[in-house]
Amino acid sequence: MIPLTHAERILQGLGITDPKDIDLEAIAWTRGAVVNFRPLDRCEATIIGSKRRAVISVNSRSPLERRRFSLGHELGHWHHHRGQVLFCANRDVGNFANDALNPERQADSFASDLILPNYLVDPRLRKIKRLTLAAARDLADEFSASLTATLFKMTLLNRFPMMIVCHNKTKRRWFESSPMIQPWWKWPSKALDRQTFAADMLFNGDAEQNFPRKMPADAWFDFKGCDRYEVEEQSFLLPDDEILTVLKLPDVAIA
């Protein structure tokens, strides 16, 4: 059994057993925080607090999933970093490239566990037969979460031999892999190979694939012997000329 995180203990303490009951404004109120939605410039959300009370402002111009994650992020700061002075710029919230010890990454982890709690997500993952973007989107819709945050949670929960990799047009920005994969698959290539479907989408404007497609593994990895294997690849575009790719990796030992 996966131990409950701080955010999950809050949810279970409120008796939440269904995704539709994760009302973040109500949860914030129970934590001593009032939420305002208003237009914000240069940031997604802010929090101002004393020892017991806080006011959280969230950018009303952002999409629903972004607003929810930003609110969860500020609640993470309220839980972990009360009394510290922090400014959350647009690139700080939901930036999976941040180091695990970075306060912004800690706040993101709290938001992830609040919106996509393991004890509700994991039973649903067990019912997914094939790793596809369509299945991930269905899960994201049920929890009112972004597709990126949902895939990140799916990766960490270790139900599939998978990796998610984010690239821009010049380099790999960040990646995450499921704990179950063999160590030689842990490091994808830094540059996006032009033979990949992801490159076709990012550089040539090709449409998103409806299903994962097989690709020689050496398009994504460069360790010795990877050219004897294939991976399944499916990607979708992100803002700011970035792309996120889901890779299903061979669940076999390298000979």
Total Cβ atoms within 10 A of residue 2:
11
* 10-residue averages of pLDDT along the chain (255 residues): 90 97 97 95 87 91 95 93 62 60 85 97 96 98 97 96 97 95 93 96 96 97 94 96 97 55
CA pair distance 25, 35, nearest whole angstrom: 6
pLDDT number for residue 92: 59
CA pair distance 2, 116, nearest whole angstrom: 14
pLDDT number for residue 251: 77
Strand order in the sheet with 45-49: 33-38, 54-59, 45-49
Question: Which alpha helices (H) appear in 158-218, and where do they start and end?
Answer: 197-204
Is the torsion defined by CA of 84, 90, 93, 99 positive or negative?
negative
- What CATH architecture does domain 6-118 belong to? Orthogonal Bundle (1.10)
Q: From residue 5, how far is each of 8, 11, 65, 111, 228 by CA, in Å?
A: 5, 10, 21, 11, 40
Q: From residue 175, how far is each of 68, 97, 228, 248 by CA, in Å?
A: 23, 8, 23, 13
CA pair distance 154, 222, nearest whole angstrom: 25
Pairing assessment for the beta strands 172-177 and 162-167 based on DSSP bridges: antiparallel
Secondary-structure breakdown of the chain: helix, strand, coil percentages, each rounded to the nearest 5:
35, 20, 45
pLDDT number for residue 254: 45
Tokens of 159: 């139900």
User: What residue segments make up the domains of the chain, in order of their start?
Assistant: 6-118, 160-248
Question: Exposed (0-12), middle (13-18) or buried (19+): which is 254, by Cβ within 10 Å?
Answer: middle
CA pair distance 23, 215, nearest whole angstrom: 41
pLDDT number for residue 117: 98
